[in-house]
Amino acid sequence: MAAGSLRGLVSSDSKDQLRFITCGSVDDGKSTLIGRLLHDSKLIYEDQLQELARDSVEHGTTGDEIDFALLVDGLEAEREQGITIDVAYRFFTTPRRSFVVADTPGHEQYTRNMATGASNAHLAVILIDARKGVLVQTRRHSFICSLLGIRHVIVAVNKIDLVDYGREVFDRIAGDYVAFASTLGFTSIVAIPISARYGDNVTRQSNNTDWYHGPCLLDHLESIDVQSQTADLPFRFPVQWVNRPNLDFRGYAGTVASGSIAVGDEIIVAESGRHSRVKQIVTYDGELARTEAGDAVTITLADEIDISRGDILAKPTERPEVADQFAAHVIWMDQEAMVPGRSYVLRIGTQSIASGSITAIKYKIDVNTGAHLAARTLTLNEIGFCNIAVALPATFDAYEANRRTGSFIVIDRYTNRTVGAGMIVFPLRRAANIAWQPLSVGKTERAALKHQRPCIVWFTGLSGAGKSTIANLVDQRLFAMSHHTVLLDGDNLRHGLNRDLGFTEADRVENIRRAGEVAKLMLDSGLIVICSFISPYKGERDMVRDLVGDGEFIEVFVDTPIDECVRRDPKGLYTKARSGKIKNFTGIDAPYEAPSAPDVHLKTLGQEPEQLADLVLNCLVTRGIIVLL
Amino acid sequence: MKYITKPEARRLPRHLRRLEAESIEIMRDVVAEFRKPVLLYSIGKDSSVMLHLAQKAFYPAKIPFPLMHVDTTWKFREMISFRDQTARRLGIDLIVYVNQEGIERRINPIVSGSALHTQVMKTDALKQALDLYGFDAAFGGARRDEERSRAKERIFSFRSPGHVWDPRNQRPELWNLFNTRIRQGETMRVFPVSNWTELDVWEYIMLEKIPIVPLYFAKERPVVHRNGTLIMVDDERLPLAPNEMPELKMIRFRTLGCYPLSGAIESDAATIEDVVAEMLIARFSERQGRLIDSDEGASMEKKKREGYF
């Protein structure tokens, strides 16, 4: 083939990519539509068609005709059940554009998958069954698309053949949609009457709808301008990786999230506020004078300043937010419910935040109606508007202003599952405005006066394991040695400070959070703080450990087998729990997560409390907390 | 100082620039977050693209991870010489791993059949190699457009101990925020070219002038007809039926694997430009020539669950 004729075949420089999502429920014909787009744009190969014809006979729902839905339902389970259960990505291309389609299920229980598909899409094709019109699910799909920042919508009124290609039906549905979507902030809404099964107005104008003069679906997908102008936004460069091949080169590798920057421009590191100038913009293909949103480059600076993964470079005149508290929409994605106060790992851009927690759920949102409801926790597929606190200040923008720097994911510390996704709405100034009151007399001075090193000795274990007995002995011995101590007991705290709390997971987390904060205040006053709490979750024990300095938290695991605790049953609680009179009882119908590496591990079987208390005191000696005289 | 002043002046179309940047971002994330990554190098065109992207991602540094080839000992001879030449050209560590137990058991694609051969010499071998070297992240060149079950694969594909993939329990992937956290014994497979299509790959190879194995280009090669496919007689190990005579035909390959399992296509496309032109009018998918996928409908999903790429 001559090179000249090839030039017409390969993509032109201006060919770009559009990523869109299709939303619709099982019966709306979503998979059929995608199959049809692929087929009519000649992107299905003959061997795939043959396979499809075979499958249509075996699993199909369209009688003797080819069932295009089977092209896109990939997993065995889906093909067997005729439903889509996960996000699938499809690809097709025309001379003008290449398309990536996120095909997601539309049921309420798959909100998580729809959000996933929408997160990288710039446009949504929302299917409506012409016979049914705008339904609750249409509202749900539109709301999620809007929340995830999609600004362009195509309303595909499908199965128009089944309403005799009726214009009135189409006009009514289009009108209904535009009316209800007015609050969702879409920039463009285009309604198109289609039949995915027969191809009307999918890739070519249909003769059956001569009253419709708008574009067919593919034409519109090819021509719509969805460039969200990310190059015009303020410059943001999240540093991904520090490139140091030798002592003479130190470059910051990353992808420009928004805006643009040129060699010589002044930049700041958002969090530290340090200044420098761009020295080089390095790429494998040569140095650039300027770089903009979407480019993966390596930037070197004129000055040696401390920058690492997670830092964001910006221009001094257009700074992102830096705060340790913010308000955000959070979509919960895990079977295990979100618990306010629990410590999670957050990833915001390239920043990995070791500890963040939801401090308050202002409300949760009914995805079908948009109504705000009160909530104490978020379960799978629920969306809440929450306050979030992170251990160290994070750099971000509002999601509405910048999708790349305003989004985050929530990861469970122990299972490492991605349990939530968030979109930041605004920073909370309360933390910023309440500066720490400098105290003239500090922990060290207070402790020195008492001739001791303060610490928290935290006893954890099942109910009836012997925590309080041993803690009490330790307290007596320390007191006898003239140490200044205090004993915080779970039961006692529940009579006062924590009397509003029950025994659900959320309340247990809050119980420990408060106990931890109180213990910390007492630690700061120079005391040896002895705490006795079942504290069943690793997460909360670690949260308390993180509150205080290195070596100030000593975890004592009072390890008594459950059978022995039941046998002892000093408070008669196991008997009640077993007969169902107490709910959420640790070890019976609520879990206990044993410490994997406690500072002191007390195996109580066959031991006297005095011996066990000695072990704890020995640990305090070896840690240099106390001195045996 | 010489600058490329206008981004438009680059030869790549915008959609390929976007795909390239996305892949580079993924590779950098892996190097920043994992202890010991490796690039699984299959010598095919997708691997060649991955290698090229890795050079770009870490420039001016050298590629900060080794290549590993799981060798079934049945690859085309030209693939092996291309592999060794590539490692030398880039000055990069190359690990070649062969499942010795499989060799001792005389597993091969001809007598053992493609399913057992793939299981022992590819899937088991890959798992053994990853465990042996303690790699915690492995780059693969799989694309979502290749096959139905791959369309739902994550870019960061989590594997529990034993390299098990559970399609019903995958981590959701939103925006460009990948969850890279794993525990001891768990690993991650990472697919930086997930969102590329076969055509994107070919166009990119052409525009970036990326070296690929010559088997992708048409040439007269000795072949025999078997079950409707053309099998190249690459060495004397391929047993011939008494009346079977290899004949010379102008052929090339769209995908490469073990030579007795790779179907050739008749073609005159001898240059990369010809190949791209042929791609644009192709009527069959690239996997059609790949015998290991057609054993049964959901076979790729099944293989993946067992730890195959």
To the nearest whole Å, the CA of A445 is away from the closest chain B CA by 41
Which residues from chain A sit within 8 angstroms of residue B291, using beta carbons?
none
To the nearest whole Å, the CA of B216 is away from the closest chain A CA by 16
- For every residue of A270-317, DSSP letters joined together read TTT--EEEEEEEE-TT--BSEEETT-EEEEEESS-----TT-EEEBTT
Tell which wins on pLDDT, A369 or B9.
A369
Put simply, the answer to whether B17 touches A294 (Cβ < 8 Å) is yes
Partner residue facing B195 (CB), from A13, A77, A100? A100
Nearest to B40 by CA among B97, B82, B79, B101: B97
To the nearest whole Å, the CA of A16 is away from the closest chain B CA by 4
Partner residue facing A17 (CB), from B7, B18, B181? B18
Copy the structure tokens of residue A562. 């459950």
Which residues 329-388 of A have a C-beta within 8 angstroms of B?
A: 333, 345, 347-350
Which residues from chain B sit within 8 angstroms of residue A407, using beta carbons?
174-175, 177
Q: How many residues are there in chain A?
A: 629
Residues in a beta bridge with A69? none
- Report strand pairing: A97-103 vs A88-93: antiparallel
Residue A80: the pLDDT is 52
Q: How many residues are there in chain B?
A: 309
Rounded CA-CA distance A259/A310 in Å is 18
Residue A582: the pLDDT is 84
- For every residue of A319-352, DSSP letters joined together read PPEEEEEEEEEEEE-SSSPB-TT--EEEEETTEE
Nearest to B11 by CA among B206, B276, B224, B229: B206
To the nearest whole Å, the CA of A491 is away from the closest chain B CA by 36
Residue B25: the pLDDT is 98
Determine the average pLDDT of the residues in B265-276.
93
Mutating which of B5, B23, B90, B152 best tests the A interface, going by the most A Cβ atoms within 10 A? B152
Whether A1 has its CB under 8 Å from any CB of chain B: the answer is yes
| E strand or H helix at A618 | helix A609-622
Rounded CA-CA distance B7/A382 in Å is 43
Copy the structure tokens of residue A165. 């290609």
User: At A193, phi and psi to the nearest 5?
Assistant: -80, 125
Put simply, the answer to whether B21 touches A255 (Cβ < 8 Å) is yes
Partner residue facing B174 (CB), from A116, A244, A295? A116
Put simply, the answer to whether B285 touches A113 (Cβ < 8 Å) is no
Using the 8-state DSSP alphabet, how is residue B170 labeled?
Answer: P
* pLDDT tens sequence across A418-446: 999 999 999 987 555 555 566 677 787 88
Instruction: Please list the ranges in chain A whose pLDDT falls under 70.
Output: 1-10, 26, 42-49, 52-53, 55-85, 106, 108, 228, 430-439, 629
Residue B263: the pLDDT is 92
- Report strand pairing: A296-301 vs A249-255: antiparallel
pTM for the model stands at: 0.81
To the nearest whole Å, the CA of B102 is away from the closest chain A CA by 30
Rounded CA-CA distance A393/A545 in Å is 19
**Which ranges of B198-248 would DSSP assign to H, the alpha helix?**
198-208
Which residues 46-85 of A have a C-beta within 8 angstroms of B?
A: 46-48, 51, 55, 72, 74-77, 79, 85
Task: Classify residue A16 by burial, with Cβ atoms within 10 Å: 0-12, 13-18, 19+.
Answer: middle
Whether A436 has its CB under 8 Å from any CB of chain B: the answer is no
Query: What mean pLDDT is reported for chain B?
Result: 88
- For every residue of B179-212, DSSP letters joined together read -----TT-EEEE-TTTT--HHHHHHHHHHHT---
**Known active-site residue A535:** yes
Partner residue facing B175 (CB), from A74, A98, A120? A120
Residue A1: the pLDDT is 35
Look at the block and give the residue holding tokens 């301008």. Answer: A225
Q: Are A180 and A189 in contact (CB under 8 A)?
A: no
**Nearest residue in chain B measured CA to CA from A422:** B174
Rounded CA-CA distance B257/B75 in Å is 6
Mutating which of A13, A78, A222, A330 best tests the B interface, going by the most B Cβ atoms within 10 A? A13
At B295, is the pLDDT very low, low, confident or very high (cuts 50, 70, 90)? very low
Copy the structure tokens of residue A371. 């109504």
Instruction: State the complex-level ipTM.
Output: 0.90
ω into B60 cis (within 30 of 0): yes
Copy the structure tokens of residue A143. 């709301």
Does the pLDDT value for residue B199 go beyond 70? yes
Nearest to A555 by CA among A616, A507, A470: A616
Mutating which of B15, B272, B284 best tests the A interface, going by the most A Cβ atoms within 10 A? B15
Nearest to A486 by CA among A471, A499, A470, A508: A471
Put simply, the answer to whether B179 touches A287 (Cβ < 8 Å) is no
Residue A105: the pLDDT is 72
Determine the average pLDDT of the residues in B154-179.
89
Put simply, the answer to whether B2 touches A287 (Cβ < 8 Å) is yes
